[in-house]
Amino acid sequence: MKGRFVLLLLVVGGLWRGSALHAQERLTFLYPSPAGSWVIPMIAKEAKYFDREGLSVELVRVGGSTRIVAALIGGSAQLIHAGEPALIPAVARGSDAVIIGAISQTPQHRLIGRPEIKDVKDLKGKTVGITSFGASSDFVLRYALQKNGLDPNKDVSIVQTGGQPEGLMALSAGKIYAQRMSFPLHMKALQMGMRELVDFSVLGLEENNGTVITTRGFIAQRRGTVIRFMRAFARGMQRYKTDKELAKKVLAKFTQLNDEAMIEATWQEYARHILKVPRPTVKGIQYVIDSGMVGKVDIKPDKLVDLSIVDELEQSGFIESLYKG
């Protein structure tokens, strides 16, 4: 009798565990490239924070923020990483896509050129690369060109490379003469003899970095799921800042780098700027709109953000609890 009881407990326990595993909510999350800006979901997955929240999250790379925003709108993913310049025109056309979080408010881009390009002005008449039209790389490149007296529509030929790694390959092959890059790929480019033309982090700009985007419809239907995702995401941000060993391990795997100096520099760069609270900057969105570099759009920045998720995490004391002890 006792043996049967123990057997029954084992069977029931096994069924419960199987049921709990099966009950995990499945999500697809898209990101543009293996760069430091997009590493937080990888940290959360490695540390099993998504599992803790009852989520099974598939992380999928799709080159270019414009394509990623289109995939979100088309229903291929529930949440994404993408640059806000790709989001603004979509919302202006009627999409309900919305920013719910960001890892920092400091642009961590570099404009990287070939060795023979000594100044941004030297790009006149040359071919330059972006990941995709309407993406952050497009906006940043046009900003740099205009600041240096060049007309992006007349003085250069802009081509799409599909992603930062592909852009680096194109630079190396001489197919393009410059492209925007971020840590650690810009460091790899420098090691290959490329030249840093602009460091956007020192220009005083405010920008949403590592932006998390979903749709208002998804929030309305599954708000609890979004809250749980952002809880895991916030834990990932905290872990990146406080657990250097784990963060560097994930960075090395994510970026496929084995150069200790590059991995260390990447960790230092993002650890310094990562926010405690993943609150997007409305000011940064307004700047992108005002710049006119995403076209003429009649839209208020408030329509592009939903701060209620971050507000709930902060007001509940959850964010503060991550940094206690």
Confidence of residue 45 (pLDDT cuts 50, 70, 90): very high
Whether 256 and 68 have beta carbons less than 8 Å apart is answered as: no
Q: DSSP labels for 43-110?
A: HHHHTTHHHHTTEEEEEEE-SSHHHHHHHHHTTS-SEEE--HHHHHHHHHTT--EEEEE-SBSS--EE
pTM over 0.85: no
Q: What pLDDT does 150 receive?
A: 94
Q: Please say if the pLDDT value at position 313 is more than 60.
A: yes
- How far CA 200 is from CA of 110, 167, 215, 287, 299, in Å, comes to 6, 18, 29, 14, 26
25-105+207-319 and 109-202 agree in CATH topology: yes
List the CATH code of the domain at 25-105+207-319: 3.40.190.10
Residue 211 has pLDDT above 60, yes or no: yes
CA torsion sign for 223, 228, 24, 256 is positive
Q: Is the pLDDT of residue 178 over 60?
A: yes
Mean pLDDT, residues 290-298 taken together: 78
**Domain layout of the chain by residue ranges:** 25-105+207-319, 109-202
Q: Which superfamily is assigned to 109-202 in CATH? A: Periplasmic binding protein-like II (3.40.190.10)
pLDDT tens per residue, range 104-159? 998 878 899 999 999 999 999 999 998 888 777 888 888 889 889 999 999 999 99
Using CA atoms, how far apart are residues 30 and 71, in angstroms rounded to an integer? 9
Structure tokens at 111: 């404009």
Q: Residue 158 forms beta bridges with which residues?
A: 128
CA distance 235 to 239: 6
For the beta carbon of residue 158, count every other beta carbon within 10 angstroms: 17
DSSP lists the bridge partners of residue 57 as 27
pLDDT higher than threshold 80 for residue 22: no
- Tell me the per-residue pLDDT of 49-72, one tens digit each, with 9 for 90 and over: 999 999 999 999 998 889 999 999
